[in-house]
Structure 1
Amino acid sequence: MAEIELDNDFEGQGDSGASTTFPMQCSALRKNGFVMLKGRPCKIVEMSTSKTGKHGHAKVHMVGLDIFTGKKNEDICPSTHNMDVPVVKRADLQLIDVEDGYCTLMDDKGETRGDLKVPDGPLGQQIQKDFEDGKELLCTVLKACSDEVIIASKVNNSA
């Protein structure tokens, strides 16, 4: 028998092959879960199912809020059809610096990144103020569908 040599070198491939969404049957989706509506990752805030008609499937009406913009999106889908669900990841990162509208953040492995903008509105103003006041902050970063945004901050009391 010939020996087969397998190439198992996965180093450096990262998330490039990972899908940003996965399919889920419409009837299995739940309120407060996530779903793709109009091509955007949304949190489901309302769901209702209509009764089956004479010739059809039950239909699910969903209302979701875009997890990055807060914009409302709606869709109606037969309950037996699949819908895309975004892969959503949350991470708390330590704020190290705020410069030119960007945050420098450090993860628990000590790796830093400086590519996330200070959020607009009250959250961004609070982060800026707390940082200038010398408070040690943890910023919650939400990642879905190749978008990443700071959605919250809190004072780090464990330091």
Structure 2
Amino acid sequence: MIDDAPCEITSYSTAKPGKHGSAKARIDGEGVFDGKKRSLSQPVDAKIWVPIIERKQGQVVSVDGDVAQVMDLDTYETISMRVPEDEPMSPDDEIEYLEMDDQRKIV
């Protein structure tokens, strides 16, 4: 988690410890749900929170513009999600999506 957003790490580098300080790590990442680039710099012995993101299966019930109604195949709950621009969808398609807390994204 960088800036309270789940991120996929794109690069990682460390700086050697100095005379009076500890080693530092710089982590660059891209947001899983929003695509924004973020960076984090902190001591290498600091703890960082790792999010638990679930990969789930769903079925498209209807598509209206860039919003799709998706039914979860495990709980039968209906959820509204944004459709990726590069992926055409139609009703009855089975899809995979990521979920963390109240955030969801079609993969």
TM range, smaller chain = 0.7 to 0.9
State the TM-score, normalized to the length of structure 2. 0.82
% identical equivalent positions: 28
Q: Look at both structures and tell me which one has the larger radius of gyration over its CA atoms.
A: 1
Q: 2:51 aligns with which of 86, 96, 107?
A: 86
Matches within 5 A, 1:99-110: 99=64, 101-109=66-74
Is 2:24 the partner of 1:50? no
How many pairs were matched up?
107
Backbone CA RMSD of aligned residues: 2.1
Give the structure 2 partner of residue 144 of structure 1. 100
Q: In 1, distance between residues paired with 2:53 and 2:35?
A: 15
Report the CA distance between 1:50 and its aligned residue. 1.2
Q: Which amino acid aligns with 2:38?
A: N
More helix by share: 1
State the TM-score, normalized to the length of structure 1. 0.58
Report the CA distance between 1:101 and its aligned residue. 4.3
Contact kept in structure 2, 1:141 and 1:148, CA below 8 Å: yes
Is 2:78 the partner of 1:122? no
User: Which secondary structure does the structure 1 equivalent of 2:6 belong to?
Assistant: strand
Contact kept in structure 2, 1:104 and 1:112, CA below 8 Å: no
Matches within 5 A, 1:9-48: 36-48=1-13
Higher relative contact order (CA 8 A, sep 6+): 2
Q: Which amino acid aligns with 2:93?
A: L
Report the CA distance between 1:145 and its aligned residue. 4.4
Report the CA distance between 1:110 and its aligned residue. 6.0
